[in-house]
Amino acid sequence: MATYKLSTPLQDADLATLHAGDVVLLSGTVYTARDSAHKRIIETLDKGEQLPFELQGAAIYYVGPTPAPPGFVIGSAGPTTSGRMDSYTPRLHDLGLKASIGKGKRSQAVRDALQRNTCVYFGATGGAGALLSKCITAAEVIAYEELGPEAIRKLTVKELPLLVINDSHGAELYAKPNID
């Protein structure tokens, strides 16, 4: 296992070097989207309309942050279960999304899309939302404000600590018998 510092937009060459179990400190722009936002994203694509953010090289964090306390840019920002987005994710990877961030296992269809498109799935530590929020230096709602915590936000992150769960080579950290 190795540690890498990456910035968005993510590039195929960088993602191809990653392997399940590697640690990534991610900086740059990350978008938030959960179930309701994903449904809206797909509806927007089906209508042939423009998405509220560029998918090419993007990373989506499956999070519904709590309100920001006074003096903070965001509240607790822990990951949600990724499997709830699995029916939408392969299409987004085929259109240029390079990484998703959440917790839990992914479907075979998502793992196939990761390989097909040189993408990765990162795990963020569940239960550590308050700590993870300290890596977020800016946050703004950019779409679907009426969804509240599930609105799409544009986050600026600095060295957000992530673990490669599924890499672009077909490996899965959860399937490894020994985690070093």
Q: Residues 68, 59, 167, 161: what is their CA dihedral angle, to the nearest 10 degrees?
A: -30
Q: For residues 68 and 71, what is the distance between their CA atoms, to the nearest angstrom?
A: 8
Residues with Cβ within 8 Å of 29's Cβ and at least 6 positions away in sequence, in order, are: 8, 9, 58, 154, 155, 156, 157
**Does 19 participate in catalysis according to the annotation?**
no
- What single-letter DSSP state applies at residue 66? P
Name the active-site residue from 19, 38, 93, 169.
38
**Positions marked active-site:** 38
